[in-house]
Amino acid sequence: DGGITQSPKYLFRKEGQNVTLSCEQNLNHDAMYWYRQDPGQGLRLIYYSQIVNDFQKGDIAEGYSVSREKKESFPLTVTSAQKNPTAFYLCASSWTSGEQFFGPGTRLTVL
C-alpha cells in the first residue's frame, strides 16, 4: 500500500519542549516538503528537500529543523524557539518537478 504516512496524528507539547513529527513515504519520490496550515492562512512552506542529505528553508523556517538521512524519511522538529507552534502540519512528496502528494497531517497543540 503506497503512500505517505505521518505520525502521530495528534501531538501535545509543553512549553519549552522540542517535538519531532515523522513523515515517511514509499513512493520513491525524490523531493519531500513540510507545510504548516493555520485557519484562514492556507499552506505555508517550512522546509523542503530535493535529495538525500540536502534541504532548503521555505518561507517560515524559523523555529523548525529537519533532516533527510534517508530518501523515505523527512522528520520535522519543532523547537522551543517556535513561539506559536499550534497548527496542522502537512508533509508532502513528489518526483522532481512532479505533482505533490500530501500525507494525512499531524495536529500539534501546545499545552
Partner 1 sequence: QQQVKQSPQSLIVQKGGIPIINCAYENTAFDYFPWYQQFPGKGPALLIAIRPDVSEKKEGRFTISFNKSAKQFSLHIMDSQPGDSATYFCAASIRGGSNYKLTFGKGTLLTVNP
Which residue ranges make up the site for partner 1 (CB under 8 A)? 4, 31, 40-45, 48, 50, 56, 58, 90, 92, 94, 96-105, 107
Least CB distance from residue 16 to partner 1, whole Å? Answer: 28
Residues 23 and 37: their CA atoms lie apart, in Å, by: 16
Positive or negative torsion for Cα 93, 7, 70, 80: positive
C-beta of 65 vs 100, nearer to partner 1: 100
C-beta of 50 vs 67, nearer to partner 1: 50
Is residue 88 within 8 A of residue 76, CB to CB? The reply is no
Grid coordinates representing 18 are 522540542
| Residues whose CB is less than 8 angstroms from the CB of residue 60 and which lie 6 or more positions away in sequence, other chains included | 36, 44, 45, 46
Grid coordinates representing 101 are 502528494
Least CB distance from residue 93 to partner 1, whole Å? Answer: 11
Grid coordinates representing 43 are 499552506
Least CB distance from residue 97 to partner 1, whole Å? Answer: 5
C-beta of 18 vs 57, nearer to partner 1: 57
C-beta of 51 vs 81, nearer to partner 1: 51
Least CB distance from residue 61 to partner 1, whole Å? Answer: 13
